[in-house]
Amino acid sequence: MAVKEVLVYPDTRLKEVCTAIEEVDDSAKQLLQDLVDTMVDAGHSVGIAAPQIGDVRRAAVVDVSKSKLGKKQDNHGLIQMINPEIIETEGSQIVREGCMSVPEYTGNVSRAESIVLQYTDQNQQHQVIRAEGFEAIAIQHELDHLDGFLFLDRVSSSKTDLFRRKQK
Active site residues: 142
Q: Which of 4, 6, 34 is nearest to 99 (CA)?
A: 6
What is the amino acid identity at position 107? G
CB count, 10 Å around CB of 86? 16
What is the amino acid identity at position 41? D
Convert 55-81 to b/e letters by CB count within 10 Å (16 or more is b): bebbbbbbbbbebeebeeeebbebbbb
What 8-state DSSP symbol labels residue 99? E
CA separation for the pair 11, 4 (Å, rounded):
15
CA separation for the pair 94, 138 (Å, rounded):
13
